């Protein structure tokens, strides 16, 4: 086994990109296996910022970077991202980037549908990124999606598009939106195909070769387990399976390819978009976490909601995701707090519970039960060894380990690539 799967264990934006990039120094291949350009992964390398949405974070180190079939691909967004990287002197060539033939495509009509549906949801808005992710996954399951390989077969594309547009246009008309003509979509696809098709590759076959020759593979999750369409806070979730079991399906590699499963968790909790959030803070501490942690969405710029670390929620992620260990991020953001709270259980209608319920109204009524621990009130920002962390910070980490049932094997103390502590050499188990 020589793979590591990196997944978010809260509601996203935990710092997955930073850890993928950090581990990528040792990796041969980095693979995205679900989601799309709703993801926003930020890397900071010697003060320089890199923001990735659809491209796997391995491109920065020029590692082989795979977009697996589980990812929904917006061709124009992909091309824009490639141009942004070129401006930073990182050339993305077909030697580096390989996109699975069977990736479903996000078309302009998916984007309009996503945004129009949100408008009519009124008070029940999901707060999607508005990028067409949900409607594209719907079409995939309904067997209507256009896939990347369809761009190479004009005949297939024509009848597939007829079927898709009949459906989209009926929906768009009912939502009072402008309908799309087949010609305009065909013209668009023709224009992008020339630039995107050179990246198309037989990904499952390539992956079989990498696995056989024992290459070190990193699977880069997007979103997070609490946004998983089955195991998250449904319907306030994304439309893909974000759990590590998706790695095999989303890259064509079978169920055992994921290797060591590393969950990424912030030392507190954030959420962007709507939906239940039991430990959300509406006070000065919440504001402080947002400001100190610079909690603004990478994709939409929306302020992220902030709250205390929820050990029940992360334990749920450990269980449904089969996590082997955690990377604890943004410890430095807690530096100046006198006291820190951890949610260790909930009260639901007066009764104590220690699991995350699936019913939506129950999720909204949860009252967190907190344990209060002393803060360290000193700087951990930039610390690179566990021994140099204040005792109170180490106690906090230990408490998280006990409550979640897994070891914290990585600790992060700033956005910078190198400000990362390997506190247990989990790579020896890979």
What is the set of active-site residues?
13, 41
CB of 272 to Mg ion, least distance (A): 8
Size of the site for ligand IMO (CB under 6 A): 23
Residues whose CB falls within 8 Å of the CB of residue 12, separated by 6 or more in sequence, listed in order = 222, 223, 224, 227, 271, 272
Q: Is 383 in the site for ligand IMO (CB under 6 A)?
A: no
Choose the stretch contacting ligand IMO; rule: CB under 6 A; options: 23-31, 223-231, 318-326, 370-378. 223-231
If one asks whether residue 273 binds ligand GDP (CB under 6 A), the answer comes out as no
> Which listed option, Mg ion, ligand GDP, ligand IMO, none, makes contact with residue 272 (CB within 5 to 8 Å by class)?
ligand IMO
Binding range to ligand GDP, per CB under 6 A, among 37-45, 185-193, 350-358, 385-393: 37-45
Q: Of all helices (H) and strands (E), which one includes residue 305? A: strand 305-307
If one asks whether residue 127 binds ligand IMO (CB under 6 A), the answer comes out as yes
> Quick check: helix, strand or coil at residue 328?
strand
User: Any contact of residue 269 with Mg ion (CB under 5 A)?
Assistant: no
Among positions 40, 232, 290, 345, the unique one binding ligand GDP when judged by CB under 6 A: 40
Instruction: Candidates 43, 151, 203, 227: give the one binding ligand IMO (CB under 6 A).
Output: 227
Q: How many helices (H) and strands (E) does the chain have?
A: 12, 18
Instruction: For ligand GDP, give the closer residue by CB, 272 or 343.
Output: 272
DSSP 362-406: HHHH-EEEEEEEE---S--TT---GGGS-HHHHHHHHHHHHHHSS
**Which residue in 224, 132, 124 sits closest to 172, CA to CA?**
132
Question: To which residue do tokens 């504001």 refer?
Answer: 287
**Cα 259 to Cα 408: distance, rounded to the nearest angstrom:** 17
- Which is nearest to 160 in space by CA: 148, 144, 172? 144
Q: Mark 297-326 with x for binding to ligand GDP (rule: CB under 6 A) and - for no binding.
A: -x----------------------------
Distance of CA 134 to the CA centre of its chain: 15
**Residue 273 lies near ligand IMO (rule: CB under 6 A):** yes
Instruction: Considering only the stretches 98-106, 128-136, 345-353, 373-381, report the one whose residues sit in contact with ligand IMO under the rule CB under 6 A.
Output: 128-136
Q: What SS3 class is residue 275?
A: coil
Cis peptide before 78 (omega within 30 of 0): no
- Binding partner of 21, given Mg ion, ligand GDP, ligand IMO, none, CB within 5-8 angstroms per partner class: none
Our CB check for Mg ion shows the closer of 38 and 253 to be 38
Give the shortest CB-33-to-Mg ion separation in angstroms: 16
Residue 329 binds which entry of ligand GDP, ligand IMO, Mg ion, none, with Cβ cut-offs from 5 to 8 Å by kind? Answer: ligand GDP
The three state secondary structure string of 197-263 is: HHHEECHHHHHHHHHHCCCCEEEECCCCHHHCCCCCCCCCCCCCCCCCCHHHHHHCCCCCCCCEEEE
Helix ranges restricted to H, 12-152: 16-23, 75-87, 108-121, 133-141
Q: What is the largest CA-CA distance in the chain?
A: 67
Q: Is 40 in the site for ligand IMO (CB under 6 A)?
A: yes
- Specify the stretch interacting with ligand IMO by CB under 6 A; choose among 120-128, 146-154, 261-269, 313-321: 120-128
Residue 134 touches ligand IMO, criterion: CB under 6 A: yes
- Kindly state whether residue 8 participates in binding ligand GDP, applying the rule CB under 6 A: yes
CA–CA gap between residue 57 and residue 52 (Å, rounded): 7
Output the smallest distance, CB 40 to ligand IMO, in A.
Answer: 4
Taking the least distance from each CB to ligand GDP, the nearer of 93 and 336 is: 336
Interface residues with Mg ion (CB under 5 A) are 13, 40, 298
List residues binding ligand IMO (CB under 6 A).
Answer: 8, 12-13, 38-41, 126-129, 131, 133-134, 222-224, 227, 238-239, 272-273, 298
């Amino acid at each position: 086994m020589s793979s590591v799967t990196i997944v978010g264990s809260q509601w996203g934006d935990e710092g997955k990109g930073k850890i993928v990039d950090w581990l990528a120094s040792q990796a041969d291949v980095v693979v995205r296996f679900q989601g799309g350009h709703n993801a926003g992964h930020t890397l900071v390398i010697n003060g320089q910022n890199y923001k990735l949405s659809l491209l796997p974070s391995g491109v920065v180190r020029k590692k082989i970077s795979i977009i697996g079939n589980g990812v929904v691909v917006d061709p124009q967004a992909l091309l824009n991202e490639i141009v942004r990287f070129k401006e930073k002197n990182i050339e993305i060539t077909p030697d580096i980037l390989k996109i699975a033939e069977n990736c479903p495509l996000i078309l302009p009509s998916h984007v309009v549908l996503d945004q129009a549906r949100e408008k009519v949801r009124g008070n029940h808005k999901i707060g999607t990124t508005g990028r067409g992710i949900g409607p594209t996954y719907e079409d995939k399951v309904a067997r209507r999606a256009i896939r990347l390989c369809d761009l190479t077969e004009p005949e297939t594309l024509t009848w597939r598009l007829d079927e898709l547009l009949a459906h989209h246009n009926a929906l768009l008309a009912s939502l009072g939106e402008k309908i799309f003509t087949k010609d305009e979509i065909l013209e668009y696809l023709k224009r992008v195909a020339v630039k995107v098709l050179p990246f198309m590759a037989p990904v499952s076959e390539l992956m079989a070769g990498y696995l056989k020759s024992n290459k070190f593979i990193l699977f880069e999750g997007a979103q997070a387990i609490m946004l998983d369409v089955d195991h998250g806070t449904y319907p306030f979730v994304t439309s893909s399976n974000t759990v590590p079991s998706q790695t095999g399906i989303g890259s064509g590699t079978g169920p055992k390819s994921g290797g060591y499963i590393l969950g990424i968790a912030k030392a507190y909790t954030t959420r962007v978009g709507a939906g239940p959030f039991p430990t959300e803070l509406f006070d000065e501490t919440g504001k402080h976490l947002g400001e100190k942690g610079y909690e603004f969405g990478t994709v939409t710029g929306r302020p992220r909601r902030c709250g205390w670390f929820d050990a029940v929620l992360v334990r749920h992620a450990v269980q449904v995701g089969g996590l082997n260990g955690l990377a604890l991020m943004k410890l430095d953001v807690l530096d100046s707090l006198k006291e820190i709270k951890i949610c260790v259980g909930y009260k639901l209608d007066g009764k104590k519970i220690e699991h995350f319920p699936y019913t939506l109204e129950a999720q909204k009524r949860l009252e967190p039960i907190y344990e209060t621990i002393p803060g360290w009130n000193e700087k951990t920002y930039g610390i690179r060894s566990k021994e140099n962390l204040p005792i109170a910070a180490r106690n906090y980490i230990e408490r998280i380990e006990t409550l979640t049932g897994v070891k914290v094997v990585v600790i992060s103390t700033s956005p910078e690539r190198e400000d990362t502590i390997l506190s247990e050499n989990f790579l020896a188990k890979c």
